[in-house]
Structure 1
């Protein structure tokens, strides 16, 4: 590294690492994200210990004793009639009630009443439906002379164990980890955008303050731009290192398996290439912008493009190697985020990894050359925003 480039890189790193924004984003934002998941879980756990009362009108005379034995989500209260149950509900003596008709075992239908809109995803409702289904299954099969062991097998016929076969032929149990599979790409995305934002704002500030004119009297535009990108790249690596350390601590505490060393290396390569690619784009934006407002409007579009793969997260989870996702993973703006998620979620074909790295590397070379040409001219322009034809002329020049 040239001595002048090294000086710029160190200066950019030391200046940015002391910024309040960097400290807040590095330490407070991940904490807020983690707390946003932990606090709801805490409240759900607390609520689960504060049991409400479920009224049961059992016209069949069979279900109530079984519910009292098996259903622990609510306190079970026997109610003689639907009319009395409705009165108790209106007086807030019970929170919900269920009516079991006389022919329940034959028709398999019951009615559940509540003052609040019921969620089909509620664990309490799911457990209640499961218990009622088990009661019907047990009754029907017992009448046919089926053994208790067979009935239990019918109620829980399978237990699915998810195994990933690695490229080495190893079998690894792979529970889904939201912490690793979603938050890690999200943090890497934020780091790329954060470092790119510092680069963009730094260029704009130096143009507005005309500091860049003084700098260019002692250093070439390429050395200045390279130093800025390398210094802020080091900042991004430091930030990611802190976040990964935090993720390792959390996942170790929760006993959630992390990715292998090989996958970690692949993810970091995509992160570095992605950072360099987007840094060159942010350098272009900063060079042609005349104010912070102009740059923010353009950079918002770029940031949205990078964020699109995260919006497709649940689709990628369903099938990380589907044709559409593989194709999207070959489009330069989407490659870093898409490929990081795919590597975390599955065994990605080696051809996809090599091809996407090659495309991203070539895109980086092209964008870096374009950024260098635009930076040489645009960094010294003030007041007037260049037209598209002017920018194209700089690139061809």
Structure 2
């Protein structure tokens, strides 16, 4: 027993001074928490900025500029009360191409108007000929006026066709030049962004948002909601519904979600309920694999350096194995207790809204310690077996990486666990020893009712698994640690197990 405690003390004292332990205890959790929380903070954080100038290219003919500006003013303002957005209709006054086309279009319209005026004059004159039956050469005048009207009608139709075709060209030129102008204003930072509303906007509801940073989902969502309201209003107005009722009908609905517990109810927050258990799984993973990694590397290093032979002359294989597990398990427990202390310190300073985080309780802390202990004993025995069986570090790291991947696998299913923590598939996965600690740490805080039965079942499964794996690891460790330069085959491993059992 003394030898076991000495080995445990040596392992604990040696590893607790290591820089890697300090890093994994203090720096790594902060980095992981920052990686998760900082994107949320920056997504929600809106710095105080000046009014943003938003360009508008509206080809729909609905003239929504004024209504869009009013809705934006009502919905979004800066802290000083000024509008957050100003809408600017993109002007083509500086476009020589569009100005030339516009001049040509004006000439065609003028020619059509002249023909229309002349047509009306000839038509009026012909009516006079028709009414005056005593007019000399009346028949000739009627025929000539008819021919004249026929000619002017055909001429007018040709000009109308030309104008219609030219209008299509003008629309294309306008769109092209408007995009050029808006892009130029955007590149030179005159505009923060611009919106393009096509001809069929009322029918399709499609619009375009152009910006140097189109990934700003918050801003695009704002314009999408405002334009959705405008187009819906226009459609309802076309069905002869009163405008005063439309605003009341389109008033948005805000849903507050609450989670029911036997003790009462609390307001449900996605970020708190999701990221809290995920961070807990990460800390559990780090605690197990920090100490387990030391255990793994210790066995492998002592075997390769032949130090294990000296240790075996000093203590039995069971004492060495037990001392390593006890010492490094205590190291992991120390790491967990440090995290508990830091959490309690943060809670006492009100840096985080503790009243909204209902799972930060002593009971859940004890469950964390329980599954840490079970997980470490289970993986620790596996690490000892892997370290003693491996001929070199490369072979051992492959198995080590596989175990790490399996242990962190539940995080990939975190959204499913959040939605249905007590679904049959999640329960079934919780009963797999490799996954039990991670799944239970995620399930316990977010379950709406106590899962005491599952806790008993998973604890029993883990204890049975630990006993089996420890017995297996002990038999392997006793023989494999003395093998040098050779990786034992599975047939040899089975032979050792059979020989040990006899």
> Under a length normalisation based on structure 2, what TM-score does the superposition of the two structures give?
0.70
Partner in structure 2 of residue 131 of structure 1: 226
Partner in structure 2 of residue 171 of structure 1: 265
The one of 86, 90, 96 aligned to 1:76: 86
Q: CA deviation at 1:103?
A: 8.0
Q: Write the deviation string for residues 173-198 of structure 1: whole angstroms up to 9, x where unpaired.
A: 33231441211111110111111110
Q: Is the 8 A contact 2:197 2:208 kept in 1?
A: no
Q: CA deviation at 1:385?
A: 1.5
Q: Write the deviation string for residues 98-130 of structure 1: whole angstroms up to 9, x where unpaired.
A: 2446886x54725223155744x7111112222
Q: CA deviation at 1:332?
A: 1.0
SS of residue paired to 1:157: coil
The one of 315, 323, 336 aligned to 2:424: 323
Q: Is the 8 A contact 1:53 1:77 kept in 2?
A: yes
In structure 1, what is the Cα distance between the partners aligned to 2:463 and 2:183? 66
Partner in structure 2 of residue 382 of structure 1: 484
In structure 2, what is the Cα distance between the partners aligned to 1:228 and 1:270? 19
Partner in structure 1 of residue 251 of structure 2: 155
Q: Is the 8 A contact 1:95 1:114 kept in 2?
A: no
Q: Write the deviation string for residues 50-83 of structure 1: whole angstroms up to 9, x where unpaired.
A: 7653212454334233244134596323215554
> Under a length normalisation based on structure 1, what TM-score does the superposition of the two structures give?
0.87
Q: Write the deviation string for residues 259-293 of structure 1: whole angstroms up to 9, x where unpaired.
A: 13222222321111011100000010111122222
Pair 1:48–1:315, CA change in 2 (3 A):
farther
Which piece of structure 1 moves more, 224-233 or 313-322? 313-322
Pair 1:228–1:344, CA change in 2 (3 A):
same
Q: Is the 8 A contact 2:57 2:196 kept in 1?
A: yes
Partner in structure 1 of residue 339 of structure 2: 243
Q: Write the deviation string for residues 360-382 of structure 1: whole angstroms up to 9, x where unpaired.
A: 11111110111111111112222
Q: Does 1:111 align with 2:207?
A: yes
Partner in structure 1 of residue 351 of structure 2: 253
Partner in structure 2 of residue 203 of structure 1: 299
Q: Is the 8 A contact 1:60 1:101 kept in 2?
A: no
Q: Does 1:233 align with 2:333?
A: no
Partner in structure 2 of residue 360 of structure 1: 462
Q: Write the deviation string for residues 199-239 of structure 1: whole angstroms up to 9, x where unpaired.
A: 01111121122222222222221111111111111111111
Q: Is the 8 A contact 1:52 1:95 kept in 2?
A: yes
Partner in structure 2 of residue 60 of structure 1: 62
In structure 2, what is the Cα distance between the partners aligned to 1:50 and 1:329? 52
In structure 2, what is the Cα distance between the partners aligned to 1:237 and 1:141? 65
SS of residue paired to 1:375: helix
Structure 1 unaligned spans of 5+: none
Bigger Rg over Cα: 2
SS of residue paired to 1:164: strand
Pair 1:308–1:101, CA change in 2 (3 A):
closer
Partner in structure 1 of residue 98 of structure 2: none
Task: Map residues 15-26 of structure 1 onto 2, 5 A cutoff.
Answer: 15-26=14-25
Q: Does 1:88 align with 2:182?
A: yes
In structure 2, what is the Cα distance between the partners aligned to 1:219 and 1:354? 36
RMSD: 2.9
Instruction: Give the count of matched residue pairs.
Output: 391
Q: Does 1:268 align with 2:369?
A: yes
